[in-house]
Amino acid sequence: MNASIARVLVDVSLNREFDYWIPEPLRAQIVLGSAVRVSFGSRETTGFVVGLAAVSERTALKPVLAVLHDQPVLSPALLELARWISDYYCAPIERVIRSMLPGAVRRSGSAFRCRRIAVSKRSGLSAAEWAALRRRAPRQAQALEIIEAGAGIEVGVLSREYGIPASVVHALAKGGFIRVEEERGARLPFRNRTFVPTEPAVLMPQQAEALALIRKSLADLEPPVALLHGVTGSGKTEVYLQAIAHVLSEGKGAIVLVPEISLTPQTVERFVGRFGETVAVLHSGLSEGERHDEWHRIREGKARIVVGARSAVFAPVSPLGLIVVDEEHEPTYKQEDAPRYHARDVAVMRGRLERCSVVLGTATPSFESFRNCEIGKYGRVWMPARVDHRRMPLMRVVDMGHERLPDGKPAILSRELLDLMGRRLERGEQTILFLNRRGYAASLVCLVCGHVESCPDCSLAFTYHRVGERLRCHICGANRAVPPACPSCGDPAFHYAGLGTQRLERLVAKRFPEARIRRMDADTTSRRHAHWEILGDFKTGKTDILIGTQMIAKGLDFPNVTLIGIVFADQGLHAPDFRAGERTFQLLVQVAGRAGRGELAGDVVVQTFKPFHPVVQSAVQLDYEAFYRREQESRRELGYPPFGRMVCVTFRGPSEEQVFEIAERVALRWREQAPPGAVLTGPMPAALSRVKGLFRYQLLLRGSSSRGLTGPLRLVLRAERIPSKVAVVVDVDPVSLL
């Protein structure tokens, strides 16, 4: 087609397209998905060609100024996916496209430059010169040592991974100690690490069965989606690797989604170890330049396998043979701002559009996926045994309601757990203590009356901070002193008060002064490569006891860990969410799966105040089906997912009356237009009813299809003319209702 008009989506926040005229010399270069430079208002901006036409309804069109990149940045399939996401999740399409493309790719056509340290003169310095530098400028000396060890290291890596600021590098260069050179070309985020090459394993029967199902799916898309439902250690990752080898042999590429890549370095290692440089890695910890380079390596076909977090589902792999979603049940696959997409569901949609297979892997399937297997939409393979028939860990339940310290106060660590920890230390084996910080863990909970100290502005439990004995709201930052006794019943023993990982660490250190203890949570891993370091020390046996949050619940594989303590198993059950049971079950099973990964058998101690709760019981028996059968009954009755669909609409604004009134008007009008069978609840105050002084009200829509709910909703929101002081957020298939 020799189109003269380009329909351009401009990279500013407007949910519409504009026509531009294509000057003759550019016509051959512009196709659907091309990135172009156009003028918009008084400035120039980037846009994407989302349509081509011979004529326009508008006159006096501005011209396209230039084409960026020599190929389109979005394939027709990805454009179609963008339209689907925009429609299904009620998000403006330019927001969708923004999520799909790394910023550096969107903004610039030219390759980024990389600054590499070419020459270092550390070894040329005399001992006296070196000593002088160390005295005069210790940071420079330290930097020089690192530079010397990693020849050709990049300036960006120095600052990101070693915390060495550009000013120090600059000073070194000025002093003639180093020379920095600009280099074009790909920065490989994993260049500075070495990986152990791995060979394909001879598969166990259950793995062979799983691979056969995937091979069948790859051949004829029957089934289009395969669920590998396998306990931790059943060999799912090895199956992915072999399926991908097959995909590569057919000249296609693959995408592997993992929940949060920085927490699962071992998974990345295994892919790089097997496939080498054809693996690209995409995650939030990369610099803009690295993302840009990885994206181009993928687009040019130099990297055929992409391992990445949520947004890697949009990686420009072409042709695409397979998408793997590991730990498919993880809530982190849902993006919590617009577009509020679920990467697993987008993967399934992309699979449909590009006619490629999708594999979901997990030990605890989401109800949505398990249900799809039940009704025959997805194929499923059940992998109940660990590779090499290692035993599943023994789960011991301890009723904390009966645990008391000698002085009669409630205990945080039970005698049984302490006893087992002591024996691990004697034997030189390792222990993981798990304490979820989400939920109420780090808050003040009175063990006598159950009172939870909450922020009055945000209706969220306060988090306890040891420094200065403060309570802090993590939403609005409110900050106050810890009350001396429970404000509700007056009991002075706030025992779970402030039970966060920090406090737990101190407690354990006091009890086992000889033990080497490390803590892994958001606070200790904020520095760039801190988690590699903590996990590295643990792996090499430099740490006896690792204390951590949900961060350590995933993907880690340590053969010498023989004891896991779940400090407060039922805390998640208190969350105001219909999935609280499902989440708690998943978490308990995941954590349990960390024990006994090697030759040694493992113990798991589950400390709980509700030892007979069905969720705790089925988790302890690692019985997914029993849990699913029981839990699904109430979901079915109430029309909750997976038996019905949900859309959550949140209204937010400074005036409570106004917010409520708008929500109510929308509710009224929606009810008039609602499809039969659809239900609306609300307006009701959101679980977080007030955030940063803004009031939040919610409507919850339920029905048999999402579109049946969002269709009328869209009309209502348009008709209601929402005042600018009230923000409306539409969340389709919400995973949490805060």
Binding residues for Zn ion, per CB under 5 A?
455, 457-458, 473, 475-476, 478
733 binds, among Zn ion, ligand ADP, none (CB under 5 to 8 A by kind): none
**E strand spans, 578-703:** 603-608, 645-653, 679-691, 694-703
Alpha-carbon torsion, ordered 45, 48, 51, 55, to 10 deg: 20
Options 83-91, 197-205, 610-618, 637-645: segment touching ligand ADP (CB under 6 A): 197-205
- Looking only at the bridges linking them, the beta strands covering 430-434 and 561-566 are parallel
204 binds, among ligand ADP, Zn ion, none (CB under 5 to 8 A by kind): ligand ADP
Does 232 participate in binding ligand ADP (rule CB under 6 A)?
yes
Tokens 């007056």 found at:
490
478 binds, among ligand ADP, Zn ion, none (CB under 5 to 8 A by kind): Zn ion
Exactly one of 122, 160, 229, 236 binds ligand ADP (CB under 6 A); that residue is: 236
Closer to Zn ion by Cβ: residue 473 or 735: 473
CA distance 437 to 454: 15
Does 380 participate in binding ligand ADP (rule CB under 6 A)?
no
Angle, helices 624-638/580-592, rounded to nearest 10 degrees: 170
CA distance 700 to 674: 13
Options 232-240, 314-322, 561-569, 641-649: segment touching ligand ADP (CB under 6 A): 232-240
What are φ and ψ of residue 515, in 5° steps?
A: -75, 145
Does 61 participate in binding ligand ADP (rule CB under 6 A)?
no
Does 206 participate in binding ligand ADP (rule CB under 6 A)?
no
Does 622 participate in binding ligand ADP (rule CB under 6 A)?
no
Does 245 participate in binding ligand ADP (rule CB under 6 A)?
no
Options 200-208, 249-257, 374-382, 466-474: segment touching ligand ADP (CB under 6 A): 200-208
CB of 236 to ligand ADP, least distance (A): 3
Distances (CA, A) of 315 to 32, 374, 397, 492: 17, 31, 44, 55
CA distance 628 to 147: 54
| Closest C-alpha among 300, 584, 310 to residue 436 | 584
Does 387 participate in binding ligand ADP (rule CB under 6 A)?
yes
CB of 205 to ligand ADP, least distance (A): 10
Options 172-180, 228-236, 574-582, 709-717: segment touching ligand ADP (CB under 6 A): 228-236
Does 32 participate in binding ligand ADP (rule CB under 6 A)?
no
Residues 604, 431: contact at Cβ < 8 Å?
no
476 binds, among Zn ion, ligand ADP, none (CB under 5 to 8 A by kind): Zn ion
CB of 248 to ligand ADP, least distance (A): 18
CB of 461 to Zn ion, least distance (A): 10
233 binds, among Zn ion, ligand ADP, none (CB under 5 to 8 A by kind): ligand ADP
CA distance 382 to 556: 22
Does 546 participate in binding ligand ADP (rule CB under 6 A)?
no
CB of 232 to ligand ADP, least distance (A): 5
CB of 204 to ligand ADP, least distance (A): 5
238 binds, among Zn ion, ligand ADP, none (CB under 5 to 8 A by kind): ligand ADP
Closer to ligand ADP by Cβ: residue 120 or 234: 234
CA distance 177 to 154: 15
CA distance 178 to 155: 11
- Looking only at the bridges linking them, the beta strands covering 43-53 and 113-120 are unpaired
Residues 634, 653: contact at Cβ < 8 Å?
no
Report the site for ligand ADP in 655-714 (rule: CB under 6 A): none
Options 145-153, 198-206, 292-300, 525-533: segment touching ligand ADP (CB under 6 A): 198-206
Burial class (CB in 10 A: 0-12, 13-18, 19+), 234: buried
Exactly one of 230, 316, 393, 548 binds ligand ADP (CB under 6 A); that residue is: 230
Distances (CA, A) of 482 to 143, 462, 472, 474, 500: 43, 10, 10, 16, 15
CB of 361 to ligand ADP, least distance (A): 7
Closer to ligand ADP by Cβ: residue 232 or 459: 232
The DSSP annotation for 218-270 comes to HHH-SSSEEEEEE-TTSSHHHHHHHHHHHHHHTT-EEEEE-S-GGG-HHHHHH
237 binds, among Zn ion, ligand ADP, none (CB under 5 to 8 A by kind): ligand ADP
Report the site for ligand ADP in 311-370 (rule: CB under 6 A): none
Residues 720, 662: contact at Cβ < 8 Å?
yes
CB of 477 to Zn ion, least distance (A): 7
458 binds, among ligand ADP, Zn ion, none (CB under 5 to 8 A by kind): Zn ion
CA distance 545 to 317: 41
CB of 213 to ligand ADP, least distance (A): 15
236 binds, among ligand ADP, Zn ion, none (CB under 5 to 8 A by kind): ligand ADP
CB of 386 to ligand ADP, least distance (A): 7
Distances (CA, A) of 384 to 80, 236, 561, 622: 39, 11, 21, 10
Find the distance separating the first CA and the last CA of the chain, reported in whole Å.
49
Exactly one of 140, 207, 431, 586 binds ligand ADP (CB under 6 A); that residue is: 207
Residues 6 or more apart in contact with residue 333 via CB below 8 angstroms: 257, 259, 310, 325, 342, 343, 344
Does 202 participate in binding ligand ADP (rule CB under 6 A)?
yes
Tokens 């919850």 found at:
700
How many chain residues bind ligand ADP (CB under 6 A)? 14
164 binds, among Zn ion, ligand ADP, none (CB under 5 to 8 A by kind): none
232 binds, among ligand ADP, Zn ion, none (CB under 5 to 8 A by kind): ligand ADP
Does 212 participate in binding ligand ADP (rule CB under 6 A)?
no
Compute the residue count for the chain.
738
Does 556 participate in binding ligand ADP (rule CB under 6 A)?
no
CA distance 369 to 359: 11
Tokens 């219909």 found at:
578
Does 430 participate in binding ligand ADP (rule CB under 6 A)?
no
Tokens at residue 427, please? 């034997």
Does 566 participate in binding ligand ADP (rule CB under 6 A)?
no
Residues 6 or more apart in contact with residue 419 via CB below 8 angstroms: none
CB of 691 to Zn ion, least distance (A): 7
Does 502 participate in binding ligand ADP (rule CB under 6 A)?
no
| Residues of the shown chain interacting with ligand ADP in the complex, contacts defined by CB under 6 A | 201-204, 207, 230, 232-238, 387
